[in-house]
Amino acid sequence: MVKRAKPGVHAAKAEMPGFIKPQLATLKMKAPSEGYVHEIKYDGYRVQVHVDKGATRIFTRNGHDWTKRFSAIASSFKLRSQTIFDGEVVVIHEGRTNFSELQADLAKGRQDRMVFYAFDILFHNGEDLRSKPQIKRKELLKELIDMLDPPVLYSEHLEGDGHELFEAAARLNYEGIVSKRADAPYRSDRNEAWLKIKTVQKGTFPVVGFIKDPTGVAALYLGKQEGKELRYMGKVGTGWSRTVSSEIRKRLDTVVSPKQKLTKPIKKPKAIWVEPKFYAEVEYRDITSEGLLRASSFKGLSKGTRGS
């Protein structure tokens, strides 16, 4: 709980600030074991919610006013206080947050699936809370969010070793976790008081085509075998050196096809189609609502391997 002024002591009240530049997390490979609280990393839009005695405004991480786009969430903050919340707007699809589904809903103007997860509080009723320890801010945050109803939710956390939560996140195909120093203040920059540890998914996909560049390949088109159907899964264009790119090109040039082998053809004017004899090992973040790989990165090429 944030300390209140003692009776008879008049604490100076601060004016409610405007948009506050958000604190950002530093990418790490391993979750810290002590001194941190750990939360699930949400795959959505980072926003800042300003509640001013019943009037609510919602800003993006860059300070743009998106209150109208998130009007259903804004109208759910039935508080008469002056409070600034930090959190994430998400859409939950198939049991986890899905950025592609959120983007699709925004494009359609649909808001019924949107949820706001509050994970920090920066200001409340004349008190700037940014200098308070993270764990104290979360205590007050939970008190306030417990007074509200969905789609406004409190972002739960675990204390202690973050590896257990990270392993659980990986099993559930979540994006990862965010670990925050329990005793740290809120600082408007990217620092190591907040750490993000990401999970990745891996798969092996038949190469159905490529885009050439002068010495190798600029991108690979990938498919997925589903029964007798070969379905398009998107492309990968990163993860190789110039030397590896040249090697990929040499191998794919041996299986060039006059037409694509996808069951449902796609239009790719720059594509050189190939027989699906080679398989690309790929790391990726997610599969979009259109069924395409998101944030994919090439890891290797093999011949004759049946994959995912």
Catalytic residues, by residue number, are 41
> Which residue type does 203 have?
G
- Separation of alpha carbons 254 and 272, rounded Å: 12
Q: Rounded CA gap, 286 and 66, in Å?
A: 26
Main-chain dihedrals φ then ψ at residue 6, nearest 5 degrees: -70, 150
Q: How many CA atoms lie within 13 A of 225 on its CB side?
A: 14
Q: For residue 32, is the peptide bond before it cis, meaning its omega torsion is within 30 degrees of 0?
A: no
Measure the CA angle with vertex 23, ends 130 and 80; round to 5°: 50
* Cα 102–Cα 36–Cα 183 angle in degrees, nearest 5: 110
